Structure 1
Amino acid sequence: MTAPIRIGMVGGGFMGRVHRMAQRLDGEYQLVAGAFSADPDKARSSGEALHLDPDRVYTDFATMAEREAAREDGIDVVSIVTPNHLHAPIARAFIEAGIHVICEKPLAVSLEEALSLRALVKKHGVQLLLTHNYSGYPAIRRARELVRQGALGELRLVQVDYAQDWLSEAGNEGWRGDPTLAGPAGALGDIGTHAWQLADYVVGQDIETLSADLHTFVPGRQLDDAAQAMLRYRGGARGRLSVSQVSPGNNNRLQLAVYGSRGGLYFDQESPETLWFAELGEPMQRLSRNGPGSGPADQHASRVPAGHPEGYLEAFAQLYRDFACHLRGELPADVTLPDVDTGCRGLAFVEAMLASARADSAWTALAYPEE
């Protein structure tokens, strides 16, 4: 029987809890160390709550990386769940210590930082997973498979929308409202990177140019709380991306529609058990997760039979499970995970959006960094 992968965590909060649940779901990981706070009392109490050895509860990530790398039973992987500005420094410390990295998105606060991490990953021979969790949904795996099989024909239109309402009033931003902690993009960096990655993962075509508009609706806020863009793909398709954290009535409405010459598909993250698919001239089909006609990609990402709902946590756990398979050399050949290259592409998208917005929505080239 394969022993669980020893994992550590830097950071905490809501996303820390989500990551720990995802780690536990399939029994692939065992949390053995962590740097949950720079405050010694908070770090200690967090470690006690998680039943960790007090000697493996740290107050800074640099010490954790150094000491865990020196232990025979040290961690194999670290999970980074901190504000954005710390992603790159923490990842750098553990990569240089020879420890694999699982990092919250975005990978860094600039493309320059992301590219430096990519160079380190290749230099030290470690692996990095970026937790764009929506690509863990079986329905999204199936959508990607349908596009690659040519079921939609020549792609024509890509539409992705992500709406939330939790920033409709001032005062809720926390670190996400501080450019020194979140980076130069607000809603764009927080959920816009998710929207971009979801479309990029399913469509499989690069954006060539974009025209972006970023806006801050709430007075006094330093970063954008809404962003929109028109997209031109290299394959000839046209697209639209819209994200907002000031849309009352929306909790986490992430939707993707892709249309081609022979068919179309539609996915709603708040109803993740279903992928809607239509062939031209035929009625819309409701494709249920792991249901009749499901393919290898859908089945690989499903845990229970159709009709037994899976959702957000299972999608998160799927990335963790796939990363464990990847580290063991057992990942199916047709499964692609968001990695350090995805992180670099995402930061290139963010910087092109910012440049276009600064130029009054001028069409701006999106130059993805070579892999």
Structure 2
Amino acid sequence: MSPPIDETLDRFARRDWQDDDVDGTVRVAMIGLGWWTRAEAIPAVIDSEFCETTVVVSSSTEKAERVAGLADTIAHGITYDEFHDGVAADAYDAIYVVTPNAIHLPFVETAADLDKAVLCEKPMEATVDRAREVRDVADSAEIPLMVAYRMQTEPAVRRARELVRKGAIGDPVLVHGNMSQRLLAEVVPNPDQWRLDPDLSGGATVMDIGLYPLNTARFVLDADPVRVRAHTTVEDEAFADVGDEHVSFGMDFEDGTLAACTASQSAYQSSHLRVTGTEGEIEIDPAFYNRQARGFRLSWQGQTVDLDFEQVNQMTEEFDYFAHCLLTDTPPPHPDAEHALVDMQTMDAIYAAAERGEDVVLAEEFDDFD
């Protein structure tokens, strides 16, 4: 292997963002106690180095108190109204917002009033305008806000970004990404859910799982799309109101790199990201599901290497990264509100392109593009 490749692949799962001299604990209030919080977030924080869950917040006192039993560190189970009233505010340093997309903003507003840091689930909100409000609220209050792109702390993705930066595959030319799952058959088998309510979600597929190849491509390339095209289809009546059960979309980047992405809420669970350059190729497959062991393949100079590496819990990495930023008084260097706003604008453009049947230029769609 050449030196840039050797250096990047050495200690593959290393936390290149961590200062070994840092210690301390960030106390987290988790807001929204759906299955993701209960099954993924709370267990991930139990295993983390720099976080502990101390407060859980739900629409129901009964549910909050029941979920409080999932970790010994949780001292308070409170309602949304109690959170907004400042109850138990001394018991946490930061909040994790994992409510339906369209109600992220009010919790960020209260966090700003209480001077608390925010880890906000992606997408940042249900619309571009409300996402911009989230950013502005955090900026005005000068509170740290990170958007929860767990793929950006996944070692396979971070190593892919390093290899691209070092020119290990030459100049990037093509990106292919996919994420699919059977939402109603296997994930949440109930059509009466917020993901299928356009007022709460903003969209069922692009906004939920299409975001993964979109944002991961941006992160690995360290670039933003300038033009998009898209097509959406609906077969199951449950998706009629949101309008996107299956989606394909293309993105053009300023340097000429082209991306082709697909996502489906009614297809076999699958995910991958492939970056093809002039001199080689990187493939992560599986890529986007936390509970699937990620694969990493590098091809260059006529050789192909499949890497075996230590698998990590992406959620634990994400929480520790967020807490590390707070403990070192370092603003998150990448998945901040400005970064997330570009995704919101891109997804809005994808929906517009699908509706119009024509390419959408982002700078023209969002004249202020702020």
Answering whether residue 186 of structure 2 is matched by residue 189 of structure 1, we say no
Note if contact 1:175-1:182 (Cα within 8 Å) is conserved in structure 2. Answer: yes
Answering whether residue 107 of structure 2 is matched by residue 90 of structure 1, we say yes
Change (3 A) 1:32 1:53: closer
Alpha-carbon shift at residue 220 of structure 1 (Å): 4.4
Note if contact 2:25-2:323 (Cα within 8 Å) is conserved in structure 1. Answer: no
Partner in structure 1 of residue 246 of structure 2: 226
Change (3 A) 1:92 1:155: same
Alpha-carbon shift at residue 65 of structure 1 (Å): 6.1
Answering whether residue 56 of structure 2 is matched by residue 39 of structure 1, we say no
Note if contact 2:112-2:141 (Cα within 8 Å) is conserved in structure 1. Answer: yes
Alpha-carbon shift at residue 241 of structure 1 (Å): 0.9
Note if contact 2:123-2:207 (Cα within 8 Å) is conserved in structure 1. Answer: yes
Note if contact 2:126-2:199 (Cα within 8 Å) is conserved in structure 1. Answer: no
Partner in structure 1 of residue 311 of structure 2: 310
* Separation in structure 1 between the aligned mates of residue 71 and residue 259 of structure 2, nearest angstrom: 45
Which letter maps to 1:365? Answer: V
Change (3 A) 1:62 1:354: farther
Answering whether residue 287 of structure 2 is matched by residue 286 of structure 1, we say no
Partner in structure 1 of residue 142 of structure 2: 125
Q: Secondary structure at the match of 1:140?
A: helix
Partner in structure 1 of residue 195 of structure 2: 176
Q: Secondary structure at the match of 2:107?
A: helix
TM-score (norm 2): 0.83
Partner in structure 1 of residue 34 of structure 2: 13
**Which one of 46, 71, 75 corresponds to residue 24 of structure 1?**
46
Alpha-carbon shift at residue 96 of structure 1 (Å): 2.7
Which letter maps to 1:310? Answer: Q
* Separation in structure 1 between the aligned mates of residue 71 and residue 25 of structure 2, nearest angstrom: 17
Note if contact 1:61-1:90 (Cα within 8 Å) is conserved in structure 2. Answer: no
Note if contact 2:57-2:83 (Cα within 8 Å) is conserved in structure 1. Answer: no
Answering whether residue 230 of structure 2 is matched by residue 212 of structure 1, we say yes
* Separation in structure 1 between the aligned mates of residue 65 and residue 326 of structure 2, nearest angstrom: 31
1:141-192: CA deviation from partner (whole Å, max 9, x where unpaired):
1000001111121211111111212346996332211122212x11111101
* Separation in structure 2 between the aligned mates of residue 91 and residue 330 of structure 1, nearest angstrom: 19
Which letter maps to 2:220? Answer: V
1:115-135: CA deviation from partner (whole Å, max 9, x where unpaired):
111112222121112222122
Alpha-carbon shift at residue 319 of structure 1 (Å): 1.3
Note if contact 1:167-1:225 (Cα within 8 Å) is conserved in structure 2. Answer: no
Cα RMSD of the aligned pairs, angstroms, is 2.5
Q: How does 1:212-361 map to 2 (within 5 A)?
A: 212-221=230-239, 222-223=241-242, 224-247=244-267, 250-251=268-269, 253-268=270-285, 269=287, 272-279=293-300, 281-289=301-309, 309-311=310-312, 314-329=313-328, 336-360=333-357
Alpha-carbon shift at residue 40 of structure 1 (Å): 2.6
Q: Secondary structure at the match of 1:241?
A: strand
Change (3 A) 1:60 1:136: same
Q: Which shifted more, 117-126 or 351-360? A: 117-126
Q: Secondary structure at the match of 1:66?
A: coil
TM-score (norm 1): 0.83
Q: Secondary structure at the match of 1:351?
A: helix
* Separation in structure 2 between the aligned mates of residue 217 and residue 142 of structure 1, nearest angstrom: 38
Note if contact 1:229-1:241 (Cα within 8 Å) is conserved in structure 2. Answer: yes
Identity %: 23
* Separation in structure 1 between the aligned mates of residue 361 and residue 85 of structure 2, nearest angstrom: 39
Change (3 A) 1:329 1:4: closer
**Which one of 357, 365, 369 corresponds to residue 361 of structure 2?**
365
* Separation in structure 1 between the aligned mates of residue 138 and residue 264 of structure 2, nearest angstrom: 33
